[in-house]
Amino acid sequence: MEKMEKILQLKVSLNHIKPLIWRRIEVENTITLFKLHHIIQISMGWWNYHLYEFNVNDKQIGNIRLLEEENIIDDRKVKFGDIFTKEKIRIQYEYDFGDCWEHIIELEKILPKEKNKKYSVCTDGERNCPHEDCGGVDGYYEYVKIIKNKNHPEYKEMMQWLGSGKFDLEYFNIKEKNKELRDLENYIKGYKD
């Protein structure tokens, strides 16, 4: 692939959850993995509270200012297009080492950059992201069981913990995600290492 700017259409799927929670995003091949981390956080609906890393061919890539591992590669220096050079390549992204949210990132298509189109953009997706600090996959399935049963003894407490007193498992609003992605640069500037 030429070193010219291309658009990478990615499918980001949350591993080990059924039915699948996923997003389709389009990003420039010149972005860093650091920027991709923030795009995933916004697109999926995470709150960027926890550590993360990418696993690419058994190499860990992440924020060297936060991760204490010796062999970690700085995600601010790795261009996404250098990893994703052909369609169907897949890598793993893990967010929150306590809850262990594993994501699979797959390059679906390499597209030409369209004039006058803003990138990064979310083009599709399904289902609401799990709540932060819910206890990983097992905790997610437990709170799903509770919120589906208004007679469950922990229902009220769970709904208060979820914040708004309601939680729609199927909710996904692409307009909201793209509005947040349009403000990506300010979001990243506000991010403290």
Find, among 27, 23, 10, 34, the residue nearest to 87 by Cα: 10
Least confident of 26-35, 58-67, 156-165: 156-165
Q: What is the pLDDT of residues 108-124, one digit of tens each?
A: 999 999 999 989 999 99
pTM here is 0.93
Q: What is the pLDDT of residues 136-150, one digit of tens each?
A: 999 999 999 999 999
What's the whole-number mean pLDDT along residues 86-100? 97
In the chain, the domains with their CATH numbers are: 6-127+172-189 (3.10.290.30), 130-170 (no CATH)
Helix 174-182 × helix 33-44 angle, to 10°? 150
Find, among 154, 125, 128, the residue nearest to 142 by Cα: 154
Inter-residue contact 27 to 9 (CB < 8 Å): no
Burial class of residue 190 in the structure, from the number of CB atoms within 10 Å of its CB (0-12 exposed, 13-18 middle, 19+ buried): exposed
